[in-house]
Structures are given as structure tokens and as C-alpha cells.
Amino acid sequence: MDLQAVKQRFGIIGNYSKLNRAIDVARQVASTDLSVLITGESGTGKETFPQIIHHLSPRKHNNYIAVNCGAIPEGTIDSELFGHEKGSFTGAHDQRKGYFEVADKGTIFLDEVAELPLSTQVRLLRVLETGEFIKVGSSKAQKTDVRIVAATNVDIMKAIHDGRFREDLYYRLNTVPIQMPPLRDRKEDIILLFRKFAQDFSEKYKMPPVKLDDAATELFMNYPWPGNVRQLKNVTEQLSIIEQSRLITGSEIKQYLPIYEGQKLPALYNEAIDNKTFASEREILYKILFDMKKDMNELKRVVHGLVNKEDMQTVFSESPEIIKSFYHEDGFTEPKQKQKDYEVDLEDEYIQDTEEFVEESLSLVTKEIELIKKALDKHKGKRKAAAIDLGISERTLYRKIKEYDLEQ
């Protein structure tokens, strides 16, 4: 089957050279049993190529099974792919055949293969190397003759480097690589695809097909299409349903093209941020806090000296530069950078003075006596009123007065 016949049969639109190359490789490899790995961005149409390979191969009359590896929970993926024995786990009431057993003599397409757990990757590697697999809960190896075609939209080499994908499995799957080009590289195909989709939706919704004016056409050609062919198809369907006019203008197109005119999607968090950045910022913060502490200690010493007039002469004589840095003729100002000579000498010595200056009794008895005295003074010795103010009974107040010898 020639190139144009393949395009027509499988609904492939476009004449981009790399697209034609991908189709040509699929045609040539179809007659073999070699495993194929299809890579490319999401929405580029990777799922079409396993069908080309299968239907142009000697296996075309046997089963073709497509499996989305990213949609199956990790706990059940082995059972889905390789089957299980009765009673092998909770809920396994009957024996079950897996996809590799059902697809014997046929083709199995593993979409999003990079999402497979590492334990499942080991099982898959055995199938590729020996054609054998073991059901979950069984110890008996079974043979299968399956052609494997896999696809992924992630950077496999990075996944290997991060330890999320086995390197030996990659080389087994990548016997024949097929790279799908992104839509932004197929500028000459964008309008062809739009016209095809517009005609399809016209027939589906029983309405005239939408068309693009010159400004809208230019926008379509220059848009990066991060969602590729799938995004283009979705936008065309929206235009077909929502817009009343069948001629779409540039201003109308902008409403359907997200991140238009250079806007960027939110950046994803990168776990590999250099820890040295945090370390340097932390050191700077510590230095600032330490400098603030020294400034506060110096300021406390100056204020203490001002309060205690008799110590003023000592303060000026011992630390003249400190006074100059804090005090001017018009009052106190913000502290200036201090000389290193005072950084250590002042800190330890003055902290002790400050603690003595602010020291006060924390005894509950002392506080209680003070409150009782204040209440009695406030109410001129009237104990009933004082007891109410203190929130205690008059009997308790009498007992406290007697206990603390507060009789007036």
C-alpha cells in the first residue's frame, strides 16, 4: 500500500516531510515482528500508527488490543496485562486472562508506556526477551506471541536518568523508533486539518462549515498549538457550534486560543532547585538578625545610661562612638554601622545589665498581696466592695487579709 493510500485509509491529513517519513517507517516495519516505540507530544496522533502497523502486517486477522498504561491503577496493572489465578489476591474470585494472553498472535499497543511501575517493567522486559509471562499468583510460565508497539509523550532519556524507566526495557522497545512531529512544525498542514475538521463537524451538526478570513488564517498558522492536532480539532468544533457567523475573524479566533500573544502557562515547580541558593539566603538572614541584635544591645546600653544620670559620665567615657552613632543634637536617630571593636565587648557585658534592669518579682503571693491592697485602697477599706472587685467571696478576702497580715 502506497503512502497516499495509507493516509486515505487511516484519515491522516498533511504533507509535512517528517510526517510522511513516520508513515513510511510504519509501512516498512509492519511486515516484521520488531517492537516499535512511538514518541511525540500529546495530541500528535501517535495512536494511529499502531493501527497502521497492525493492519498492514500478517497479524491483521488476529486481535489488536490498545492499553492505556497511565489509566490503570498500579495495584491492578499486572493483573490486567498478565492475568491472575483464582484466589491470588482479595477479590480474585475467578481465574482471569490478561491482555498478553488474549492478544496472542496479534498486536498489543501500550500507550503511555513510561507510566508503568518498575515492577511491571521487569515483567514486560521478560515478555520482550523470551516471549514468556507469569500470571499473578502463579508459578508457571506461559508463552505468548505478541507484537508490541509502545508510545509515550515523555522524555524517556530523562525518565531513565531519574530512575523511573529501565534502560534495558527502553532499548528493547526502541528497536524501531518513530518520531511524531508537533503541529507547530507542520504549518502547511494546519489549514488543511482545519478544513477537514470543519467539514466533519458541518456534517455532524447539520450546519454550513466555518471558514477563516485572512487575519484568522494568519493567527492559526503562527499559533504554537501546545495541544497539537487534538487542540486544533477541539477549537474547530467550538467555532462550529458557538459562532453564529460562518466566517471567523481574527478577533473571534483570539477567544479560543489560550496563552495567545506570548502569554505563558504557569511554571511547574522544579524539585531540583539548587540548595546552595537557600543556604546563601539563610546566611544573609542570620547576619542581618545578628547585626540587629548588636544594634539593640547598644541602644539599650545608651538608654540605660540616660535613665541613670549618675552613669552618664561612665557611658560617654567608655563608649563615645556608640553615643555619636545614636544621638545627635536633634535627638536619637537610626543606628549607623558599628566598628568591630565594640561588637563583642558590649554584647555580653550589657545583656547582664539589661536583665538586672528589667527584673521583677513573679511570685503569685506578692502579686496577690498587691492586688488586695489596691482593691482596699480603691474602695477605702470597704471589704465587701473590694471582694466583688477582686472576684472572690467576702469570706475569702477576710481570710487572705488575716493570712497576709493586712489589717488596717
What pLDDT, on the 0 to 100 scale, is given for residue 88?
Answer: 81
Mean pLDDT of 254-263: 68
CATH number of 3-181: 3.40.50.300
Which residue shows C-alpha cell 471589704? 383
Residue 222 has pLDDT above 80, yes or no: yes
- Topology, domain 185-254: Helicase, Ruva Protein; domain 3 (1.10.8)
Mean pLDDT for the chain overall? 82
Q: What is the CATH number of domain 364-403?
A: 1.10.10
Confidence of residue 53 (pLDDT cuts 50, 70, 90): very high
Spatial distance between the Cα atoms of 106 and 123, rounded to a whole number of angstroms: 19
Task: Tell which wins on pLDDT, 366 or 105.
Answer: 105
- Distance between CA atoms of residues 392 and 376, nearest Å: 13
Cβ-count burial 28-62 (b if 16+ within 10 Å, e if not):
ebbeeeebbbbbbbebbbbebbbbbbbbbbebeeb
Span 162-218, pLDDT tens digits: 999 999 999 999 999 999 999 999 999 999 999 999 999 999 999 999 999 999 999
Residue 287 reports pLDDT greater than 60: yes
Report pLDDT digits (tens) over 341-390.
444 444 444 444 444 444 455 577 788 888 888 888 888 888 888 888 88
Whole-model pTM?
Answer: 0.62
Say if residue 54's pLDDT is above 70.
yes
128 confidence band (pLDDT: 50, 70, 90)? very high
11 or 369, higher pLDDT:
11
Segment 116-125, tens digit of pLDDT: 999 999 999 9
**For the chain, domain boundaries:** 3-181, 185-254, 275-358, 364-403
pLDDT at 334 over 80: no
